[in-house]
Chain A
Amino acid sequence: MAVSPVVTYEATSNIKVTADKAKSLAVRTNSISNQNEAPPEKKQGGQELAERLNHETKEKYVKDKKLGEGTYAIVYLGHLKADPSSKVAIKKIKVNTEYRDGLSMDAIREVKYLQELSHPNIIALHAVFSSKNQNLNLVLEFLPLGDLEMLIKDSEGIRYGTAEVKAWMGMLGRAVWFCHENFVLHRDIKPNNLLIAADGEVKLADFGLARSFSDPYRLMTYQVITRWYRPPELLYGARFYSGAVDVWSMGTVFAELILRVPFIAGNTDIHQLELICQAIGTPTEENWPGVSKLEGYVGYEKAATVPVRGKDVYLARFGTAGPVGVDLLMSMLALDPRKRSTARQILEHKWWTTDPRPTAKEDLPKKGGGLEKMGDDLKRRGGEVEDGRGDKVARKLNFGTMK
């Protein structure tokens, strides 16, 4: 795909589509202004087109009950007025009184990227509207079956095997590939951001830390991704990075799905690095040329360096994935981001076509997180996690250092 940089799509059909769309827009406006002419109400006459469109969108949905509330947002269950059996989640982002700089960055990032990314494995944003008090309301896909973290943790109640792991990882892989294909870095991939739809489909959510790929020479912040899923280059303070950061997170999620406990769970950033050295190997100039130039790199005593773990070590721990699965896992967890697989290479890997076949999504184990769980999952802001696991939280973005 994406062979030619020239957009050579038949211009005629292009124009037709746009014309149709424009027509529908024009028709809609006409019908509204006609309605307005009837009662000569002053307020409606002064309403601009954008205001009317917003009002129309708002009127399409009904808020039913509150599912959850956090400091950042309130999540409601809702439905389409025209179809009472439909279900949506409406996330109302609170106007932050502390934040005087207008619309907050989290909200902007989330809206910006979800508006662009339509994919079966990415949570769908059906509509956005503002309510009277200038709060943003995001109408999101209804995902009632909790998240992957719930399934992983319930090792007593939920049994699953390689075929299930393959199905989940496949869905995650497609979501991440689609983000990267659209030049978007997610920067917060972890099991509790992977929500589950009624039909078992996994959906990547929470784009509060996402950003577009940087232009050359433009610095990015390294303070992203929840610690346990954060790659070594970010822990070393890299300011230029790529989709490889998300791929590392995918690798740690893959490992966690098999182990059913977080794979590399450090208490501090330093501890996280120590654990990475033990589990994967110590980053050195030999296995990762240039690593010592990273700002936060700490040199290691020759004697203290752990050689990069071989396949045997992985087979011993992750043998259930099979030797081909272990190859894939290792390619996601390469220390040097340049040697790590890309999202595309992951999708092209042999593992997907090796036995066992991935479980059909309808047959995947379900826990039924219920409405509250969805409320909890959605009310978070980027990088935020539940109480009691606060040490895992990605530090707040520090925009001052991003210049």
Chain B
Amino acid sequence: MPQLTEDDLYRTSTQYRLWSFNRESLLSLRSTTNESAAEGVRAALHAQKAAEQEQSSKQDSNGSPPQEVDCLSVGEEQKLVVFYCVQTMRFADFCEFPTNATAVQYLKRFYLSNSPMTYHPKEMMPSALFLATKTENHYTSLKSFVSKLPKTTAEDVVAPEFLLTQGLRFTFDVRHPHRGLEGGFMELLALATGKGQSGPNNGASPTQFQKQMVGLDPANGGNKKSRSAKEVVQRIQDAHGKAKEILKTSALLTDAYFLYTPSQIWLSSLFVADEPLARFYVDSKFPTPSTMKPTLLTTLGTCANLLRSSASADPEDSEVKELKRIDKKLYKCRNPEKIDLVGINKAQKREGHEDGLDEKVIKKRKLERERSEKEAEDIFGPALGIKDGK
């Protein structure tokens, strides 16, 4: 009977079904979003200008030809989104919300189908964080959440929530690599202390594993080999700390979640932290020879490179300068119709209410209207004769 594997289960997740891509498809999706947003910006600015001209005077109705708007490129959009992801992480740290990883992924997912030119990340950020506190069982009341944010009202947080959930395509589950790393860490410690169990097809005994680990090449080109099991334990702890840091930063800021599975991500973080140790761990899982192993190692290699290429969670001056330039540019190419999110939200709710109302309520309103109309007609009171007649 075919057995359900962890892979089968992962493939049923929305993270796999809706949020996994390859590099090409990811880029093409972002380009489409960028183009369509730029189109929207141009159309909106054009309309705005036309309206202004019409209002100001009809004298120079030929007007000046519409100025071409300089819109953000896909790359610029990306840099801006990553910057606000970093901001989100900082803010979440400050408030001690352990849900920042989810909030950051919400932003990254949202900006696959939305452009910063339409919705500024600064305005989506609080909403993403707040939604993450709700989806990750860290619910704090909106009131106390807002009190921690500078210059933000409750409305500012809630108004974009609907847009956000729509952009997330109503999927809230994010599968993170953190738990996998903890499991691998515990396994490695067990192997190092001679309590390990080998993979299903690997015949090595616990003591053989323990010996192999002492003999491993030093991490990242160092020259000091471990001499004892105790030193191996220290080495594992160091690697664990480094890998954990990578998962908290690079894994979130790069496209790792879109391109790789959580297990691939944590294994790759271990590769970055201590490659010989990571290779040993993978070896312990496979029978020799295995056809799957080389494929896996190639995947882990490319993922590790991606993690190494991550934008820093602590941007340098030159990067900050570049971000300022982009933000300035964005100021001129924002879609004027989508700036007032609170207003849009209110309008949508109103609009919807009109067509989504129950018949009962509609009827009630009609009666009220009729009554008030009558009252309005009778604004000077009923006809004198009637009054006298009473």
Contact across chains for B353 and A133 when beta carbons are under 8 A apart: yes
Pick from B20, B135, B349: contact of A108, CB under 8 Å: B135
**Which residues in chain B, 159-206, are within 8 Å of chain A measured between CB atoms?**
161-163, 165-167, 169-173, 179-180, 183-184, 187, 199-200
Tell me, in angstroms, the Cα distance from A181 to B4 when the chains sit together.
10
Q: When A and B form their complex, which 7 residue pairs have the shortest distance between CB atoms, in order from nearest? A: A133-B352, A22-B25, A132-B352, A49-B113, A128-B170, A46-B40, A7-B263
Pick from A18, A45, A103: contact of B161, CB under 8 Å: A103
Contacts A29-B32, A50-B166, A53-B169 given: A45-B40 contact, CB under 8 Å? yes
Contacts A5-B180, A48-B33, A132-B348 given: A399-B139 contact, CB under 8 Å? yes
Contacts A133-B349, A182-B9 given: A48-B296 contact, CB under 8 Å? no
A115 to B: closest C-beta gap in Å: 5
Tell me, in angstroms, the Cα distance from A50 to B119 when the chains sit together.
13
Question: A23 in the interface, Cβ–Cβ < 8 Å?
Answer: yes
Contact across chains for A8 and B296 when beta carbons are under 8 A apart: yes
- Smallest Cβ-Cβ distance to B119: which chain A residue: A48
- Smallest Cβ-Cβ distance to B110: which chain A residue: A50
B261 to A: closest C-beta gap in Å: 5
**B-chain residues with CB within 8 Å of residue A214 when the two chains form the complex:** 137
**Which residues in chain A, 1-59, are within 8 Å of chain B measured between CB atoms?**
1-12, 15, 18-19, 21-23, 25-26, 29-30, 33, 42, 45-51, 53-54
**B-chain residues with CB within 8 Å of residue A51 when the two chains form the complex:** 166
Pick from B26, B171, B263, B338: contact of A5, CB under 8 Å: B263
Question: B214 in the interface, Cβ–Cβ < 8 Å?
Answer: no
- Smallest Cβ-Cβ distance to B200: which chain A residue: A3
**Which residues in chain B, 303-360, are within 8 Å of chain A measured between CB atoms?**
335, 337-338, 345, 348-349, 351-353, 355-356
Question: B130 in the interface, Cβ–Cβ < 8 Å?
Answer: yes
**A-chain residues with CB within 8 Å of residue B167 when the two chains form the complex:** 48, 50
**A-chain residues with CB within 8 Å of residue B20 when the two chains form the complex:** 18, 21
Tell me, in angstroms, the Cα distance from A112 to B130 when the chains sit together.
16
Question: A259 in the interface, Cβ–Cβ < 8 Å?
Answer: no
Contact across chains for A11 and B298 when beta carbons are under 8 A apart: yes
Contact across chains for A23 and B25 when beta carbons are under 8 A apart: yes
A1-B5, A399-B139 given; name 6 further pairs at CB < 8 Å: A2-B4, A4-B199, A8-B7, A50-B163, A113-B173, A115-B172
Question: A116 in the interface, Cβ–Cβ < 8 Å?
Answer: yes
Contact across chains for B173 and A135 when beta carbons are under 8 A apart: no
Q: Mark B5-18, 1 if CB is under 8 A from A, else 0.
A: 11101101110010
Question: B69 in the interface, Cβ–Cβ < 8 Å?
Answer: no
Question: B56 in the interface, Cβ–Cβ < 8 Å?
Answer: no
Question: B237 in the interface, Cβ–Cβ < 8 Å?
Answer: no
Tell me, in angstroms, the Cα distance from A133 to B21 when the chains sit together.
32
**A-chain residues with CB within 8 Å of residue B353 when the two chains form the complex:** 133
- Smallest Cβ-Cβ distance to B163: which chain A residue: A50
- Smallest Cβ-Cβ distance to B142: which chain A residue: A101
**A→B interface (CB under 8 Å):** 1-12, 15, 18-19, 21-23, 25-26, 29-30, 33, 42, 45-51, 53-54, 95, 100-103, 105, 108, 111-113, 115-118, 128-136, 181-182, 211-212, 214-215, 218, 220, 399, 402
Which residue, A22, A131, A134, has most C-beta atoms of chain B within 10 A? A134
Contact across chains for A103 and B199 when beta carbons are under 8 A apart: no
**B→A interface (CB under 8 Å):** 3-7, 9-10, 12-14, 17, 20-22, 24-26, 28-29, 32-33, 36-37, 39-40, 43-44, 47, 110, 113-115, 118, 130-131, 134-135, 137, 139, 141-142, 154, 157-158, 161-163, 165-167, 169-173, 179-180, 183-184, 187, 199-200, 261-264, 267, 282, 285-286, 292-293, 295-296, 298-299, 335, 337-338, 345, 348-349, 351-353, 355-356
**A-chain residues with CB within 8 Å of residue B356 when the two chains form the complex:** 131-133, 135
Tell me, in angstroms, the Cα distance from A131 to B26 when the chains sit together.
28
Tell me, in angstroms, the Cα distance from A1 to B47 when the chains sit together.
60
Contacts A46-B40, A46-B43, A115-B173 given: A134-B348 contact, CB under 8 Å? yes
- Name 18 A/B residue pairs within 8 A (Cβ), A-sorted: A3-B200, A8-B7, A11-B299, A15-B22, A18-B22, A18-B25, A25-B25, A33-B36, A48-B36, A48-B40, A103-B131, A105-B139, A118-B12, A130-B165, A132-B356, A133-B348, A133-B352, A134-B348
Pick from B29, B39, B173: contact of A22, CB under 8 Å: B29
**B-chain residues with CB within 8 Å of residue A5 when the two chains form the complex:** 6, 180, 183-184, 187, 263
- Smallest Cβ-Cβ distance to B154: which chain A residue: A100
Tell me, in angstroms, the Cα distance from A54 to B165 when the chains sit together.
11
Contact across chains for B118 and A48 when beta carbons are under 8 A apart: yes
Contact across chains for B171 and A115 when beta carbons are under 8 A apart: yes
B349 to A: closest C-beta gap in Å: 6
Contact across chains for A100 and B348 when beta carbons are under 8 A apart: no
Tell me, in angstroms, the Cα distance from A279 to B320 when the chains sit together.
68
A370 to B: closest C-beta gap in Å: 23
**B-chain residues with CB within 8 Å of residue A18 when the two chains form the complex:** 20-22, 25
Tell me, in angstroms, the Cα distance from A1 to B26 when the chains sit together.
32
Contact across chains for A46 and B173 when beta carbons are under 8 A apart: no
Which residue, A30, A50, A100, A115, has most C-beta atoms of chain B within 10 A? A50
Contact across chains for A116 and B29 when beta carbons are under 8 A apart: no
Contact across chains for A112 and B158 when beta carbons are under 8 A apart: no
B126 to A: closest C-beta gap in Å: 11
Tell me, in angstroms, the Cα distance from A133 to B4 when the chains sit together.
41
**B-chain residues with CB within 8 Å of residue A218 when the two chains form the complex:** 137
Which residue, A6, A111, A115, has most C-beta atoms of chain B within 10 A? A6
Tell me, in angstroms, the Cα distance from A128 to B180 when the chains sit together.
30
- Smallest Cβ-Cβ distance to B170: which chain A residue: A128
Contact across chains for B166 and A7 when beta carbons are under 8 A apart: no
Contacts A26-B28, A46-B337, A50-B167 given: A102-B43 contact, CB under 8 Å? no
**B-chain residues with CB within 8 Å of residue A54 when the two chains form the complex:** 166, 169
Tell me, in angstroms, the Cα distance from A337 to B137 when the chains sit together.
23
**B-chain residues with CB within 8 Å of residue A45 when the two chains form the complex:** 36, 39-40, 43
**A-chain residues with CB within 8 Å of residue B130 when the two chains form the complex:** 102
**B-chain residues with CB within 8 Å of residue A100 when the two chains form the complex:** 142, 154, 158
Contact across chains for B142 and A6 when beta carbons are under 8 A apart: no
Contacts A45-B43, A50-B167, A54-B166 given: A211-B137 contact, CB under 8 Å? yes
Contact across chains for B173 and A6 when beta carbons are under 8 A apart: no
- Smallest Cβ-Cβ distance to B262: which chain A residue: A7
